[in-house]
Chain A
Amino acid sequence: MERTPSSEVPGHVALKTMDQKNKIYSTLDEAVVDIPDGATIMFGGFGGAGFPNNLIQGLARQGAKSLSVISNNCGTGEGELGILFKNKQIRRVVAAFPGPAAKYFQEQFDAGEIELELVPQGILCERMRAFGAGIPAFFSPVGVGTEVARGKEEREIRGKRYILEQELGADYAFIRAQRSDHMGNLIYRKAARNFNPIMATAAKITIVEVEEIVPTGELDPETIVTPSIFVDRIVQAAGKRCV
């Protein structure tokens, strides 16, 4: 293809693809090999959709212990996060809806082996947004006058009561998307999007499993949901939707 030489356009830098950092990992195990004991990890997924189940299985094989996890729920049987509870890899949980099917979590919670912080679901999201956006804390009306308000600063603003909520970040976010390009721009599918985009903004290292990796430039920029700046590692897990 003929291009105008850059020297003829003042200030113009020769066109090149932007994907210089290789974010693509060839195996799931490689993508999670360095997760240390004691790490804090966010996991996307809701209602069986959008869980990074293949990365979770990778983490189960890898065996990191004493993990702090942030997730809407705590697995269904051995599925989703369940396997990590079954393996006793988790020490602390931040969740909105641990769930009636979270058998291994419930057993360990009842036995006092796991510490739990229950957070209203929208506030879970908003605390992540705050972290990702550089806001250390914010006032919220949710939970005023309930158990959730315990120990939190309360303030009246324009005649209404609010409580102070803290940002919530993590060392890693494990997420799932439908499609990534080589840079890590992500597109999701239907209600499998859920927590995945917000978690991508709130972790030091975001690892995404995707069904398909396409060449950079192939995704319509108007439809990208998670821009590549939020994504550090990409691994293909095609056809492995559910565990």
Chain B
Amino acid sequence: MSKTRLTREQIAERAAMELPEGAYVNLGWGIPNLIAAYVPAGINIYFHSENGILGMGPRAKRGEEDLDLVDAMKVPVTLLPGGAYFSQDDAHVMTRGGHLDVSILGGLQVAENGDLANWRVPGARGAGNIGGAMDISVGAKRLIVAMEHNTKDGSPKIVKQCTYPLTAIECVDTIITDLAVIDVLPDGLVLREIAPGFTPDEVQELTEPKLRYCEKILTISLPGH
């Protein structure tokens, strides 16, 4: 079998499979922003946006955009039946207060203890942008990070200790990458699934901390593939 890393869209598709029926979910910037399109048919998810929307629907059709109804990335969206508007402070009562079932964020680094760094690359120009990521990370009942397994130069993004500025400590529950699905447990990282054609040892090679292998590691399988 040829070794095939998942595309960004496929990472999003795999992440969408983690969402349980009826969940209230916040999606962050980057790959997570692609996830809504891949929610399996028959599963109802209520998307939260930190600017005060619950029950956010798909992107608005051309010509039907309402600039007072945008998501956190400024994209004109729609509201589903049963959706609600509220203020930014109430939106973060939902994030920080532990009311969201699942949040999925992008990541620059995840450490083996679940620390997340996702808001600033050291040495980059500019001030950096925290946005809602710190509140979301701290409060999510379940936090999934969807990101590429390695940086463009091949360095691991799953590390023993984050060297980038932290978003929150010990907050990540599951990491979904183009190579693997990894759970962060109190005693370390557990490799649960791997991309087609890869062996667990090859994934370990591309990961800094030690992975424990699940008894039966599955190949990542996407609906319709």
Contact = CB atoms under 8 A, between A and B. Distances in A.
A146 interface: yes
A195 interface: yes
Interface residues of B, number: 43
Q: Which of B89, B95, B129, B168 has the most CB of A within 10 A?
A: B89
A49 to B, nearest CB: 5
Nearest to A242: B67
Given A47-B51, A146-B169, A121 B88 contact: yes
Contacts of A25: none
A210 interface: no
B169 A145 contact: yes
Given A110-B125, A122-B96, A142-B96, A194 B134 contact: no
A198 B87 contact: yes
Contacts of B138: 141-142, 144
Contacts, number: 145
A120 B126 contact: no
B172 to A, nearest CB: 14
Nearest to B87: A197
Interface in A158-208: 188-198
A64 interface: no
A50 B87 contact: no
A228 interface: no
Contacts of B131: 96-97, 121
A224 B50 CA distance: 21
Interface string B128-140: 1111111100110
Given A47-B73, A99-B129, A123 B135 contact: yes
| Interface of B, helix, strand, loop or mixed by DSSP | loop
A110 B88 contact: no
Q: Which of A105, A119, A121, A145 has the most CB of B within 10 A?
A: A121
B73 A119 contact: no
Interface in B103-133: 115, 125-133
A47 to B, nearest CB: 4
B89 A147 contact: no
B136 to A, nearest CB: 8
B95 A119 contact: no
A193 B52 contact: yes
B129 A146 contact: no
B130 A96 contact: yes
B165 interface: yes
Contacts of A48: 67, 70, 74
Given A142-B96, A142-B135, A195-B88, A49 B130 contact: no
A125 B51 CA distance: 11
A128 interface: yes
A198 B89 contact: yes
A196 B66 CA distance: 19
Interface string A144-156: 1111100000000
Contact of A196 (B69, B87, B128, B166): B87
A49 B51 contact: yes
A118 interface: yes
Given A97-B130, A98-B126, 16 more contacts: A46-B88, A47-B71, A47-B72, A96-B132, A100-B129, A120-B135, A121-B92, A122-B92, A126-B89, A141-B138, A142-B134, A147-B165, A188-B85, A190-B53, A195-B87, A198-B89
Q: Which 3 A-B pairs have the closest CB atoms?
A: A122-B92, A122-B135, A125-B89
Interface of B: 49-53, 66-74, 79, 85-89, 91-92, 95-96, 115, 125-135, 138-139, 165-169
